[in-house]
Structure 1
């Protein structure tokens, strides 16, 4: 078993979902920072756990031909990027393999990932979010912490975002504005949010713990000096004691509160809360792939859940007879309707509501779309959405995902409802990071067992919390991030502690007086972090 502060020689076999190299020392998994697959290294153990360890490569005997010198001075301190120590070829293959492994291991699918589509790796992000520390630092969080690393120039953000960050620093410094302290919940400035369109225009929003800022005209002046092409400066109100970035309401300090952009030949109006893909060029590739997978001929009815500002809805509307979009954010639905009006698209309808409720309502009203398109957040689909989707019996489901693990979980759930994954393609929307987008096509099976299948909630046998992550996914997450092996019993105990109701008799003792082993504190902390990661608490 590897010991802390000792050095061992090992070969890197692969990568974790966060881009760490994986080696085996004395039969135990060791996660190695900045190590590349195939490298023979001396690994210094930094943290040793019972079932795994973390380390760093202090000597590389046979460097990978894919190893490169990181091009960012903040790499290793800022938690934004994961792959700046390897070339693009290795990065893309690591991401493609991650999607393939998830679909096979978690999803139980034999579909082959066709490849990974990629584009320009620098300055691609059209949306930037900068946390602000209590002492006025504007930058990005250090990995797995809320410690802000001040960053003057980011390799993946637009230059306009860097300029806006500097303008905010100047405002905080010269006007003596107090910044938000997460511990005391006092102070004003919390986050900087910048959207930049393909023409170089920007919309700037400052999120504050209150309803106003001192000398707001000075803030506007500094932003306009730094960004001559800015279209508006907005104040967002966020007084919630959580890690949420966006606010509950917005007030325009200058200019307009929306930004216009062109995507796939269509015009879109974007407010601050509207969902919009962060990589403009690769979003066009992503949507083209989704339309291709949908197999539209011009006669279909399409239902688009999680439609955001109606981007993919309207792209598909050009190839379909009728498209219906649903989204929970009211501002996004307002943008979607305005976007359709501007683009002269009349065969679309938009509804505001929770995806599960909207899907159930559509199903109850007898909607039978030919194609269902879903682009959910990282946590994936709830079992309610899966059930409602299956009850509408679409011939094809186009699933756009930003998390291979939750995609694979949902592929497995859809398999229970009579659908099989038949195509999958990875899209590199986030170069330099471990994140990867996937487009997956699920087709309705045409066997006697599945033609008239009806999926009910009790048949899925999942609680609301379990819809976000299974026990096995929680175990895998904990092992990958801490090296700890936790039992289903320990997970159940921690879930019960946080009020997550288990199914009847699940992990209950055989008798009222039966004794059960209690979860150790270290494992309880790891399980708690996993539950937070999967947004279960």
Structure 2
């Protein structure tokens, strides 16, 4: 009988990937998870953590490498939790993400589709427009970096290939200020110290907004910090202090104070301008978000006569995109500040056929139904946990012709697709979009219909030029 205990070593063939990007192998019917491996590879694997039906192992010798294996271009790849796929070619990463979507839809959702390839990024690096650095005490002083995988240990990261170079420059200047003036990092275990996070937003214009999250109401040597940050990045738009004195893992507190410059950035998306404050939700990959929204608009099949309900609308990015083709759009979001931002964004872009409501998605939809509103199209873009249990029935009760579902988690998407199928809405087509290259995350947009639609009649190609806003100016 094969040895099934810690430190046992076995030759194992990698059969696929987990949702977190780990390789999956099998040993006499039991599953073994092996990080930093590629599908098809043969490894000698040491079992490091063993349970009755599964184990976690570490590859100790690569016996048969995959042609899709790539030398990681980051020296911290195996120690940092930021990326999961830098040991693979980008083509293999996209294939794996597409397979993950297809498997979830079939196994959980009961839907088998001939999915098109995942839409990959032209440039899979330096795409993050928001970066949050945790700050901690290291052996040689303060550490400003990223968490190690599955821990709260902060790894010092001098540069990250996911972030713009100006973020790297700001981090270096900020760390120098902390070191030179002995500014104490926050200590999680004792809820003491001062600096909790460095939070940076950037935009397409090359500007940056810097927010220091502190366990206090003020910073020492503030003017020197501002001087150093401005000198390091002349395009710096503003420096903000966020006060978070709570004993919590939540990054941002409720109180903000602008130390210098502006407390927002402006960004263009799909031909429109959006104002982004520090807490505003905005997709971190602008270029790929445009492709995602273009596909959602394509799936919506709007002709200019429809009423559209956009649930989980955030600051209104999808709502305003849909408004270009609809008679009217109603956006709903539970976060009050996001709704205020959405209203301001509509006014800023001259969009007058959209209104925004603050409230729970299910409760808002139910209230609209009681008022007799029957949207022809409903768009949902829920958080990772997917739709609340009561929402699918509420949506079906409104009897829309089509539902467009934008998802950041194939598993919860598949669960909700199954719920909607039981209510008479069938999945017509789906498209994966890679908003997070080199990580295990993937976005999916799905079209569901109450009636029968020939999926061949749904346009596969869509030009961003179709999303011109000149009609609203």
Establish whether TM, by shorter chain, passes 0.5: yes
Aligned equivalents of 2:422, 2:137: Cα separation in 1: 49
Asked if the contact 2:427–2:449 (Cα under 8 Å) also holds between the matched residues in 1, the reply is yes
Question: What displacement does 1:197 show?
Answer: 0.6
Question: What displacement does 1:33 show?
Answer: 1.6
Residue 74 of structure 1: which of 65, 76, 79 is its match? 76
Aligned equivalents of 2:233, 2:330: Cα separation in 1: 38
Q: What SS class does the counterpart of residue 310 from structure 2 fall into? A: strand
Question: What displacement does 1:412 show?
Answer: 1.4
| Structure-2 residue corresponding to 1:369 | 375
Residue 285 of structure 2: which of 279, 285, 291 is its match? 279
Asked if the contact 1:114–1:423 (Cα under 8 Å) also holds between the matched residues in 2, the reply is no
Greater shift after overlay, 280-289 or 350-359? 350-359
| Structure-2 residue corresponding to 1:44 | 46
Q: TM-score, normalised by structure 1?
A: 0.81
| Structure-2 residue corresponding to 1:235 | 241
Q: Residues 49-104 of structure 1: CA distance to partner in whole angstroms, max 9, x if unpaired?
A: 22111112222222110011100011011101000001011100100000111111
Q: Does 1:215 align with 2:221?
A: yes
Residue 357 of structure 2: which of 335, 344, 351 is its match? 351
Q: Does 1:335 align with 2:338?
A: no
| Structure-1 residue corresponding to 2:104 | 102
Aligned equivalents of 2:370, 2:180: Cα separation in 1: 58
Q: Does 1:379 align with 2:420?
A: no
| Structure-2 residue corresponding to 1:516 | none
Residue 151 of structure 1: which of 153, 157, 176 is its match? 157
| Structure-2 residue corresponding to 1:130 | 133
Residue 21 of structure 1: which of 20, 23, 28 is its match? 23
Q: What SS class does the counterpart of residue 116 from structure 2 fall into? A: strand
Q: Does 1:427 align with 2:416?
A: no
Pair 1:357–1:206, CA change in 2 (3 A): farther
Greater shift after overlay, 107-116 or 17-26? 107-116
| Structure-2 residue corresponding to 1:7 | 9
Question: What displacement does 1:351 show?
Answer: 1.8
Asked if the contact 1:235–1:251 (Cα under 8 Å) also holds between the matched residues in 2, the reply is yes
Question: What displacement does 1:111 show?
Answer: 3.2
- Root-mean-square deviation (CA, aligned residues, Å) is 1.5
Q: Does 1:140 align with 2:146?
A: yes
Asked if the contact 1:134–1:187 (Cα under 8 Å) also holds between the matched residues in 2, the reply is no
Aligned equivalents of 1:243, 1:112: Cα separation in 2: 41
Asked if the contact 2:198–2:212 (Cα under 8 Å) also holds between the matched residues in 1, the reply is yes
Q: Does 1:224 align with 2:227?
A: no
| Structure-1 residue corresponding to 2:34 | 32
Greater shift after overlay, 269-278 or 129-138? 129-138
Aligned equivalents of 1:331, 1:170: Cα separation in 2: 34
| Structure-2 residue corresponding to 1:482 | none
Aligned equivalents of 1:273, 1:37: Cα separation in 2: 39
Aligned equivalents of 2:186, 2:402: Cα separation in 1: 47
Q: Residues 98-135 of structure 1: CA distance to partner in whole angstroms, max 9, x if unpaired?
A: 01111111112223332200111110111111111144
| Structure-1 residue corresponding to 2:271 | 265
Q: What SS class does the counterpart of residue 132 from structure 1 fall into? A: strand
Q: Residues 330-362 of structure 1: CA distance to partner in whole angstroms, max 9, x if unpaired?
A: 332222222211211111111222323322322
Question: What displacement does 1:194 show?
Answer: 1.0
Q: TM-score, normalised by structure 2?
A: 0.91
Aligned equivalents of 1:172, 1:361: Cα separation in 2: 52
Gaps of 5+ in 2: 453-473
Pair 1:339–1:390, CA change in 2 (3 A): same
Residue 83 of structure 1: which of 82, 85, 91 is its match? 85
Greater shift after overlay, 165-174 or 354-363? 354-363
Pair 1:353–1:174, CA change in 2 (3 A): farther
Aligned equivalents of 2:62, 2:341: Cα separation in 1: 52
Q: Residues 273-293 of structure 1: CA distance to partner in whole angstroms, max 9, x if unpaired?
A: 111111011001000000001
Q: What SS class does the counterpart of residue 325 from structure 1 fall into? A: strand
Greater shift after overlay, 350-359 or 173-182? 350-359
Pair 1:354–1:216, CA change in 2 (3 A): farther
Q: What SS class does the counterpart of residue 64 from structure 2 fall into? A: coil
Q: How does 1:507-526 map to 2 (within 5 A)?
A: none
| Structure-1 residue corresponding to 2:469 | none
Question: What displacement does 1:390 show?
Answer: 2.0
Question: What displacement does 1:445 show?
Answer: 4.2
Q: Which contiguous aligned blocks of 4+ residues in structure 1 show a shift greater than 3 angstroms?
A: none
Asked if the contact 1:23–1:31 (Cα under 8 Å) also holds between the matched residues in 2, the reply is yes
Pair 1:249–1:351, CA change in 2 (3 A): farther
Asked if the contact 1:164–1:227 (Cα under 8 Å) also holds between the matched residues in 2, the reply is yes
Aligned equivalents of 1:283, 1:109: Cα separation in 2: 25
| Structure-1 residue corresponding to 2:188 | 182
Aligned equivalents of 1:247, 1:377: Cα separation in 2: 21
Q: Does 1:169 align with 2:163?
A: no
Pair 1:380–1:292, CA change in 2 (3 A): same
Q: How does 1:464-475 map to 2 (within 5 A)?
A: none
Q: What SS class does the counterpart of residue 115 from structure 1 fall into? A: coil
Greater shift after overlay, 299-308 or 209-218? 209-218
Q: Does 1:294 align with 2:300?
A: yes
